Every structure is written in structure tokens, then in C-alpha cells.
């Protein structure tokens, strides 16, 4: 959608001629006989609005014109419609005609149609509410032709546009949902999910009737299905905080129960759910194999989070995930790749050493687990500190003994050396006396 602009100055069309002259030219080009009759009706000037109504009705013929003439013809048609005192009466029909496939341009037709739609959008004043309806037509066109990449650069500006249009919550919701559809059609799961959540946030949190309306429940169920089946989403706190999602506990309690399981429970709870609601997953056309794999990964994350020692024996993993021992390494690799846990396997000790873990929820239970882990670390550190103090004391005692022993040896050596020197002097004296005799 390269032609779309967001600045205050609209794009201009350079068209020369009076409305009547240009309308006649357009009527001849489209072979719009009804418009021709109005324009050739004699001295009395025809009503501009009547002429536009006939031209817009005939504008579907633009999809059959030669490719090289399409842009000029569509620009002239847009210019004429914008001469109306109330363009919004004609723009939806005109945009719908622009969005139809071009028979004479199978390769470039989509691009030409998008340019025409974008020109309508750009020529309207930035704060004109009709822009919202034109943008909806552009979104439908992009969805039909798988052109999400043309939309992507403008998504950051969308909240600003919606605010300037003052479109209201309902239009805002429809646009967000349409963007989610365009993204989903292009396989952009993350973008689709994010805009679906934006749509859910447009419902009034204080209006119970609105939260339980068909639209709210439809979007809520869609979001839940995407979240629990996604290979990328493992944390559900933000989703469960949305008011329309919370009302599912009343309107669709089984879905609400399933969401709770994926948010904070484990494989055993999921198996109990399937026993309680036998066949429900298949009936709802949910991928049971995907759900089973995902709850195992989440169970692994919970096991890692609840293990204070940060060392998980293979046997514990086997029991929690209900898998044979020879599959432990495969599931460990999967949970690490999912970003839920970081660590490494010790095959020799048959342990998984946890370095980091993502908490699925953080409530009272998790605070208690964290407190237990802190107590465990404190006890470990105290033990280490006690050992260090003991070693320090032992080292000090050893040094003192060594010092005392060294001093004793030095004293002994000094004392012993002086006694020998006295004996030598006495011997020399006796020797001199003997010689004198």
C-alpha cells in the first residue's frame, strides 16, 4: 500500500475542466447511457448528485478497460466523486468497484486497484471519518489478495489514525479484526493474535451485556483457540485478564476450564478434562495432538519451576510427562527450544540441571515456591558459610601452630649455638695455660 500517506497534506490530482465537461467525458468512456441522458438534457443543468449516482453505478466497467488507461480513468472518477457535497454516499460503492479483479490485467491488476483505493484514502482530509470506511475496503482487498506486506509499514500509525477519525469503538473493533484477518491470511500468527486482542479491548469492561454479546464471545473464543493451539504462546495471564475472556466462564464454561488448565495446570489435569468431556476436543475441531504436546511442555516448565534444588531426575520427568525414559532427552530439547526452560542434561547422573525457568503464572502458589527456593538457597549459603568459617578457623589454627613451631626452632637454634661458642672459649683458655707450663 505504498501510496498511503499519513501527513496532513493530502495527495493532489491534477484534473482540468468543469464538472460537467469531465462528467461527460467519463460518461462517454464508461458508456454510461443514463448519465449521458442527464448531461444532454437541454438547457437545464442536471443535478450533480444525480449524475454522480449514475457514474458511480457504471464505474464497475473500469475493471474492463486497458491496463494503461486504468489509472487515469480511476483518478478522474475519484475527482468527480469528491466534487459531491456528500462524497461518503458514493465512496463505498466506488471503492467496492475498484476492489473487483481487473479482467485485462491479471499480473498488475491488483497493484493498480490498490493504487486507486489508496488515492481515495489520501485525497480525504486526515481527520475525515469516511477514511475509516475506505480503510476497511483496503483491508478487505489486501486480505483477498494476500498482500499483508503492503499493510505492515502502516500498522504503527493505525491507533493514531483511529483516534483522529473518532470512528467509535465498533468501527475500531471491525478494523482491528480485519487487520487480524489480513495477517492470519498471510500466516502472520503473532500479528493476527495481537490485533485480535486489540479488538477485544474495545468492549466496555463495565458493560456486562456488551461483554457477553455475540461479537464479544466470538472474538473471545477465537483468541482462546489461537492461544492454546499456538506453538509460540505459553503464557496466558494477559489473555485471562481481558473482561470478555473472563465472561467465558459463564457463557462457555468448558472453554474457560480448558484455558485455565493451559494457564496454570498440568498434564494430569488435562487428561482428567478429556475424561470428563470425552470427545469434546474433536467435536470443537481442536487439534488434540497439538494440545497434548503443548500441555506436556507446560507441565515440564511447572516441574522445573517447582524444583528448589534445580536438579530434576529423569524419573520425575517421566512421571510428570507420562513418557518412557528414552524420550526424556527429546522432550527436554523441545522445552528448551520453546523458551520455557534453560538448562542442560547430565546423562551420567540422569539429571536435568535447570538454569532458568519461565513461570506460567505468578500468584500465591508461585510466591510460596519462590519463598521455598529462597529458603533453600539461604540454607545452602549458610552451610557454605559455616564450612568456610570452619576452614578459615582451621587454617588460622594451623598457621598459629606453624608460627609457634618456627619460633621454637629458632629459639632452640639460637640457644644451642651460644653454648657451643662458650665451650670453645674454655677449651682455648686451657690450651694456652698448658702451653705456658
Residue 425 has pLDDT above 80, yes or no: no
Residues 95, 86: Cα–Cα separation, whole Å: 15
Report the first-to-last Cα separation within the chain, whole angstroms: 134
pLDDT-derived band at 374, boundaries 50, 70, 90? confident
- Label residue 215 exposed, middle or buried (CB < 10 Å: 0-12, 13-18, 19+): middle
Residue 228: the pLDDT is 97
pLDDT-derived band at 420, boundaries 50, 70, 90? low
pTM attached to this predicted model? 0.76
Q: Which tens digits make up the pLDDT trace of 264-313?
A: 999 999 999 999 999 999 999 999 999 999 999 999 999 999 888 889 99
Contact 177, 219 (CB under 8 A): yes
Task: Please give the share of the chain, as a percent, with pLDDT higher than 70.
Answer: 88
SS3 per residue for 287-341: CHHHHHHHHHHHHHHHHHHCCCCCEEEHHHHHHHHCCCHHHHHHHHHHHHHCCCE
Provide mean pLDDT across the span 361-390.
75
Q: Which tens digits make up the pLDDT trace of 304-347?
A: 998 888 899 999 999 999 999 999 999 999 999 999 999 999 99
Mean pLDDT across the chain? 87
Residue 23: the pLDDT is 92
- Comparing CA positions, the residue from 177, 218, 215 lying closest to residue 196 is 177
- Comparing CA positions, the residue from 154, 169, 119 lying closest to residue 15 is 119
Residue 18: the pLDDT is 87
- Which residues, including other chains, have CB under 8 Å from residue 175's CB and lie 6 or more apart? 132, 135, 136, 139, 158, 162, 167
Residue 289: the pLDDT is 96
Q: How many CB atoms lie within 10 A of CB 155?
A: 14
Q: Which tens digits make up the pLDDT trace of 67-112?
A: 999 999 999 999 999 999 999 899 999 999 999 888 778 888 899 9
Residues 289, 283: Cα–Cα separation, whole Å: 14
Q: Which tens digits make up the pLDDT trace of 149-199?
A: 999 988 999 999 999 998 889 999 999 999 999 999 999 999 999 999 999
SS3 136: helix
Residue 12: the pLDDT is 44
Domains of the chain, by residue range, sit at 13-99
- Comparing CA positions, the residue from 135, 107, 111 lying closest to residue 122 is 135
Amino acid at each position: 500500500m505504498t501510496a498511503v500517506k499519513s501527513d496532513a497534506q493530502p495527495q493532489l490530482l491534477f484534473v482540468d475542466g468543469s464538472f460537467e465537461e469531465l462528467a461527460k467525458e467519463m460518461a462517454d468512456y464508461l458508456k454510461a447511457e443514463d448519465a449521458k441522458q442527464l448531461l444532454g438534457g437541454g438547457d437545464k443543468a442536471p443535478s450533480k448528485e444525480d449524475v454522480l449516482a449514475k457514474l458511480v453505478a457504471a464505474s464497475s466497467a473500469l475493471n474492463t478497460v486497458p491496463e494503461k488507461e486504468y489509472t487515469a480513468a480511476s483518478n478522474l472518477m475519484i475527482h468527480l466523486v469528491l466534487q459531491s457535497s456528500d462524497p461518503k454516499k458514493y465512496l463505498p460503492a466506488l471503492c467496492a468497484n475498484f476492489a473487483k479483479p481487473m479482467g485485462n490485467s491479471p499480473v498488475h491488476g491488483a497493484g493498480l486497484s490498490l493504487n486507486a483505493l489508496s488515492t481515495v484514502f489520501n485525497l480525504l482530509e486526515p481527520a475525515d471519518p469516511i477514511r475509516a470506511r475506505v480503510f476497511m475496503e483496503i483491508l478487505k482487498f489486501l486480505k483477498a489478495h494476500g498482500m499483508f506486506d503492503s499493510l505492515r509499514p502502516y500498522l504503527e500509525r493505525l491507533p493514531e489514525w483511529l483516534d483522529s477519525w473518532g470512528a467509535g469503538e465498533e468501527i475500531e473493533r471491525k478494523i482491528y479484526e480485519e487487520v487480524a484477518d489480513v495477517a492470519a491470511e498471510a500466516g502472520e500468527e503473532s500479528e493476527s493474535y495481537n490485533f485480535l486482542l486489540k479488538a477485544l479491548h474495545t468492549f466496555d469492561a463495565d458493560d456486562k451485556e456488551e461483554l457477553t454479546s455475540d461479537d464479544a464471545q466470538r472474538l473471545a473464543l477465537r483468541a482462546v483457540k489461537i492461544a492454546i493451539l499456538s506453538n509460540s504462546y505459553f503464557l496466558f495471564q494477559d489473555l485471562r485478564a481481558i473482561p470478555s475472556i473472563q465472561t467465558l466462564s459463564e457463557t462457555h464454561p468448558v472453554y474457560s476450564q480448558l484455558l485455565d488448565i493451559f494457564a496454570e495446570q498440568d498434564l494430569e489435569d488435562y487428561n482428567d478434562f478429556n475424561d470428563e468431556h470425552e470427545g469434546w476436543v474433536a467435536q470443537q475441531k481442536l487439534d488434540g495432538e497439538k494440545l497434548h504436546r503443548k500441555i506436556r511442555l507446560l507441565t515440564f516448565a511447572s516441574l522445573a519451576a517447582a524444583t528448589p534444588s534445580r536438579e530434576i531426575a529423569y524419573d520425575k520427568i517421566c512421571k510428570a510427562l507420562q513418557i518412557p525414559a528414552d524420550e526424556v532427552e527429546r522432550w527436554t530439547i523441545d522445552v528448551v527450544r520453546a523458551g520455557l526452560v534453560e538448562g542442560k542434561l547430565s546423562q551420567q547422573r540422569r539429571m536435568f540441571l535447570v538454569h532458568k525457568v519461565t513461570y506460567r503464572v505468578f500468584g500465591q502458589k508461585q510466591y510460596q515456591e519462590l519463598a521455598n527456593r529462597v529458603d533453600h538457597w539461604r540454607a545452602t549459603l549458610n552451610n557454605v558459610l559455616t564450612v568456610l568459617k570452619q576452614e578459615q578457623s582451621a587454617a588460622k589454627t594451623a598457621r598459629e601452630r606453624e608460627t609457634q613451631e618456627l619460633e621454637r626452632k629458632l629459639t632452640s637454634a639460637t640457644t644451642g649455638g651460644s653454648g657451643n661458642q662458650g665451650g670453645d672459649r674454655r677449651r682455648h683458655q686451657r690450651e694456652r695455660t698448658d702451653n705456658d707450663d
